[in-house]
Structures are given as C-alpha cells and as structure tokens.
Amino acid sequence: MARRKRGTPVDGWLIVDKPEGVTSTQVVGRARWAFNAAKAGHAGTLDPLATGLLAVAFGEATKTVPYAQHGLKTYRFTARWGEATTTDDREGEICERSDRRPDRAAIEAVLAGFIGEIMQRPPIFSAIKVDGARAYDLARRGDDVTLAARPIHVERLTLLETPNPDTAIFEMVCGKGGYVRSMARDLGGSLGTCAHVTALRRLASGGFTLDGAAAFADLETFRDDAGANARLLPVSAGLSGLRRVEVDATTAQRIGAGDTAAAPYLDAPAYWVSLAGAPVAILGAENGVARIRRVFRFA
C-alpha cells in the first residue's frame, strides 16, 4: 500500500530572517509546519551563530535550489583580532592568541589579495565530506582533519568600520563555496595576527534579499492565516540567474511530457523555459542539442 504524503502541495519561496541560535533545519521545519507544506528545503545553510537571509523552497521550488545556490551572496561580518578558535567563530575554544592589532590602513592594504579568484581552505568544522563523513563530525570526535584549499570567487570585500582595536566589520560578496569564517581566519594571518568571526549576517543570496522577509517568530502566526500564501515568491524566483525562453502552450506540453525535440536550444549549461512566466522545465546544452534537466508541474 502506497504511503500517503503528509501536508498539502505548496509551491514557491519564503524568505526568512533567521535569528541567532536557530539552525537552518529548524527554520525549514517551522516554515513547513506553518504552511502545512508537503515538501520543503532551503538554498544555502546558515550556521546557528549566523543571522539573516534563509531562502526556504516549497514544492516545485525545491527543483530550483541547485540553481538558486549558485548566485552571489552578500555577508556582513565582524572579525575579532588576536584570538583564533577551533571553529573559526566565537562558538569554538580559543586555540591561539596574539598581541598584534592591525589598524585600518594595514587592513585595507591587504584586502586586494582576497578579491577575485582566490584559494581558500574551508574550516574543519564544516559540512564538507571526508571519506564519506562530515568534517565537523570528525573534528568533534577529535580526529585530525585536513581540508584542501579550494578555488572561490570573491566579488567584493570592504572594510566598513573598526569600532575598536580588537574588532573590524566587513562586507563580502562571494560565490558558492566561500566561507566567511575562513576569510576572517586568513585576514588575521595575512596581518600577522589571528582572528575569528564574532557576528555574521547574510544580506542577500542570488536574486533574494531581506526586503519583506518573514521573521522566524512570526511563522507561528502563518499556520492560521489564510493570507500567508501571499508572502510566497514564485517558483521562478529561484531561476533569476538563468536565461529564460518563453514558449507556447503546445510546446510547453510537449516539453513537459519529455519531448526533447520540442525544446528550444540555447548555448548555455542551464536555462529555463516558461509558459506565461510559469516554469515548464530547466534545460541545458549538451553536444549541441537541448537536454531536459528538470520538468515542473504547470497548469
């Protein structure tokens, strides 16, 4: 006997302003409960210490998560000089100290070296898999974890203010795979000291911003609010970074049925087709022909 799915079909995106001390999984769980949604996920984990933008995907929007995650992300963070921690943030134990405190001129002098295509070593307390296990699980049980540096793209890194000799506040715009905790650690090292993150807030991710974001505490009220669905962004919001091709109803039906011959071709690794703005499918060029990657439920 087939297992009955719990919840109702809800499609779209909800932007939540995650508070400190709450996990991304907890936000998704609360949002799914609030909308009684059958399926939900998110585009990009935030550590419990971090606050700010968490994009929650419902139903058909979950198919766009891999594409939504590829957009640039904007973070504001505070680095504390003179102390390194095991987690590269204030939740870890202090493992190194330094008496050196860089001034504003010294900090600004090194920023250019952290912009563009750079190599960055992820924190050992991260979700990266090592021989099938999460790095943070290995680190917590005391294993010697070594993660190789990886290429990342940093669009912008700006020093906003230096409230006191011990701290500096930055804003960073980076691509997928960039770690703010690693950036603070490496900035400290380049300045002849050590550092860790004490505060972190995500301001934007891809096409999503905090404008109109729902507060986590307010999700409780959505459960009994008939107008809560008006807070949802369309499924297509997760595809803002891809090119779009509009098709007619006949072509849409053929593509929805898996007819590759009907799919329009663009020389791009990923693009999407729509019917009157509603996503029909995600396509990708492969050996000079269009391939159907994902198909959406559409009217």
Q: Which residue among the candidates 11, 17, 47, 186 is catalytic per the annotation?
A: 47
Q: Can you read off the two tokens belonging to residue 125?
A: 């307390």
List the structure tokens of 165.
């000799």
Sequence-distant (≥ 6) Cβ neighbours of residue 64 within 8 angstroms:
57, 235, 236, 238, 239, 279, 282
Task: Identify whether the C-beta of residue 274 lies closer than 8 Å to the C-beta of residue 246.
Answer: yes
236/60 Cα distance (integer angstroms): 10
- Distance in angstroms (rounded) separating the CA atoms of residues 282 and 125: 34
Residue 5 identity: K
Report the candidate in 189, 163, 188, 184 with the shortest Cα–Cα distance to residue 172: 184
- Which tokens hold the place of 155? 């669009």
Q: What is the C-alpha to C-alpha distance for residues 48 and 19, in angstroms, rounded to an integer?
A: 8
3-state secondary structure of 219: helix
Q: Give the integer Cα–Cα distance in Å for 266 and 259.
A: 16
Q: What is the DSSP string of 77-117?
A: EEEEETEEETTSBTTS-EEEE------HHHHHHHGGGGSEE
Q: Retrieve residue 293's tokens.
A: 């990657």
- Phi-psi domain of 98 (left: phi exceeds 0; alpha: psi -120 through 50; beta: other): beta
To the nearest 10°, report the CA torsion of 26, 234, 53, 70: 100
47 is a catalytic site residue:
yes
**Which residues have a catalytic role annotated?**
47
